[in-house]
């Protein structure tokens, strides 16, 4: 089955064609990141306007690369939430129009569920010894979410915990801004941190708090970290340029420590031995290496799945894959954008 996926929940305009949920025939992502780097963050109105301009060319490019025509498609999948309402509407209304005029079934996909399918689609799934086994625990870490989700099967998701305040990606983005680094903050902090780590391989990181790490909850909280970084900068503002790489490494380590520690605890508590990383923050290489070293040192029998970095951040291939494995077409009249959708709604 050949599915055209469309994703416009945040600042990307993305379209992809995926065969049988796994084989990526094309995957086009146009980002308005440059625009947002200038303003230090996303301005929703600007993101949506750019998506209106990019949507048709992205779709054309996507079909051109896949060497397909509309007649070759079996159905259309689209992200209908959560996300920015103006942005979501661009993709949803485009998909509804195409569904009507091309007479193809339309499958609305939850963006957060889509992120999890980065573990099932593409090279990633081919190179693995096997596809992820169920039950699995998914850690969805993006710009707006930090969710732990128990996945018993395709279509059987149970939400375990989320953040009480900022999301992990948001913590990267906000602290990057304080450190004078560009948007998006995650890759910028990771690059600075890597410089420090190369120069100081044995460094013991301890400067910033690890919120809720020892408490009896799987909830997250990252807003205190931003305050701690701000205080550290204010205590000696003139040294920021000299300390930027160190503070970036300390920030990354604090976020990664909490994510790894609590996810492994949850995996043991729920008796699962498969962990799936998902969302933009899952592109962080330090997160992956820390997970692997902790699993090894504790002798846990856990299988960690980490998608290719390009599939962790927003794209439409994961949306088409999620639609294939959860194939519930809906008449186009019944599909509406929902900015506040949760992972299990």
Residues that bind Zn ion (CB under 5 A): 142, 314
Shortest spacing between CB 205 and Zn ion, in angstroms:
27
Minimum CB distance to Zn ion, residue 37 (Å):
18
Q: Give whichever of 267 and 312 is closer to ligand KG4, judged by the CB atom.
A: 312
Contacts of 188 (CB under 8 A, 6+ apart): 176, 181, 182, 248
What's the CA gap between 308 and 127, in Å, rounded?
11
Q: What is the token pair recorded at 158?
A: 């149970």
The separation between CA 58 and the C-alpha centre of its own chain, rounded to angstroms, equals 21
SS3 141: strand
Whose Cβ is closer to Zn ion: residue 124's or residue 196's?
124
Which residue lies nearest ligand KG4, judged by its C-beta?
186
Q: Half-sphere exposure of 68 toward its Cβ, with a 13 Å CA cutoff?
A: 19
Name the residue among 300, 261, 259, 298 with its Cα closest to residue 277: 259
Sign of the torsion formed by the C-alpha atoms of 30, 37, 139 and 296: positive
Instruction: Please report how close the Cβ of residue 184 comes to ligand KG4 at its closest, in angstroms.
Output: 4
Whether the ω angle into residue 192 lies within 30 degrees of 0, i.e. cis, is no
Distance CA 129, CA 173 (A): 35
Closest distance to Zn ion from the beta carbon of 12 (Å): 8
Nearer to ligand KG4, 193 or 266 (CB): 193
Partner touching 313 among ligand KG4, Zn ion, none, CB below 5 to 8 Å by kind = ligand KG4
In the bound state with ligand KG4, the residue whose beta carbon lies nearer, of 233 and 282, is 282
Residue 5, contacted partner among Zn ion, ligand KG4, none, CB below 5-8 A by kind = none
Question: Shortest distance, CB of residue 14 to ligand KG4, whole angstroms?
Answer: 10
Distance CA 185, CA 173 (A): 4
The closest of 36, 294, 166 to 12, measured between CA atoms, is: 36
- Least distance to ligand KG4 from the beta carbon of 316, Å? 12
Structure tokens at 87: 């942005």
- Positions touching ligand KG4 (CB under 6 A) are 10, 142-144, 169, 172-173, 184-187, 190, 279-281, 283-284, 313-314
Nearer to ligand KG4, 73 or 322 (CB): 322
Q: How far is the CB of 29 from Zn ion (least distance, A)?
A: 12
When CB distances are held under 5 to 8 angstroms depending on the partner's kind, the choice from ligand KG4, Zn ion, none that residue 184 binds is ligand KG4
User: How many alpha carbons fall within 13 Å on the CB side of residue 269?
Assistant: 13
Among Zn ion, ligand KG4, none, what does residue 82 contact (CB within 5–8 Å per kind)? none
Q: Between residues 253 and 314, which has the closer beta carbon with respect to ligand KG4?
A: 314
- The binder of 169, among ligand KG4, Zn ion, none, by C-beta within 5 to 8 A per type, is ligand KG4
């Amino acid at each position: 089955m050949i599915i055209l996926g469309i994703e416009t929940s945040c600042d990307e305009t993305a379209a992809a064609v995926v065969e049988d949920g796994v084989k990526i025939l094309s995957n086009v992502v146009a980002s308005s990141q440059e625009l947002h780097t200038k303003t230090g963050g996303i301005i929703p109105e600007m993101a949506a306007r750019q998506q209106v301009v990019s949507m048709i060319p992205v779709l054309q490019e996507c079909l051109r690369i896949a060497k397909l025509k509309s007649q070759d498609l079996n159905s259309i999948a689209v992200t209908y939430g959560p996300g920015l309402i103006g942005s979501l509407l661009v993709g949803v209304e485009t998909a509804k129009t195409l569904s009507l005029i091309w007479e193809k079934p339309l499958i609305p996909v939850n963006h957060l569920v889509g992120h999890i399918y980065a573990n099932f689609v593409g090279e990633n799934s081919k190179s693995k010894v096997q596809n992820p086994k169920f039950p699995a625990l998914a850690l969805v870490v993006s710009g707006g979410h930090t969710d732990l989700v128990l996945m018993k099967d395709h279509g059987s998701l149970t939400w375990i915990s989320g953040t009480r305040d900022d999301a992990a990606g948001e913590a990267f983005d906000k602290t990057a801004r304080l450190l004078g680094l560009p948007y998006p903050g995650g890759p910028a902090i990771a690059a600075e941190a890597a410089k420090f780590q190369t120069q100081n391989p044995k460094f013991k990181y301890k400067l910033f708090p690890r919120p809720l790490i020892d408490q009896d909850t799987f909830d997250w909280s990252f807003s205190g970290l931003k305050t701690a970084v701000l205080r550290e900068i204010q205590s000696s503002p003139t040294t920021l340029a000299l300390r930027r790489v160190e503070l970036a490494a300390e920030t990354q380590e604090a976020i990664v420590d909490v994510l790894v520690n609590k996810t492994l605890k949850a995996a043991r508590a729920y008796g699962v031995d498969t962990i799936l990383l998902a969302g933009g923050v899952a592109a962080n290489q330090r997160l992956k290496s820390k997970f692997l070293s902790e699993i090894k040192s504790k002798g846990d029998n856990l299988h960690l799945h980490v998608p290719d970095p390009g599939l962790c951040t927003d794209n439409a291939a994961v949306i088409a894959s999620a639609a294939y494995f959860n194939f519930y077409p809906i008449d186009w009249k019944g599909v509406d954008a929902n900015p506040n959708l949760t992972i299990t709604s």
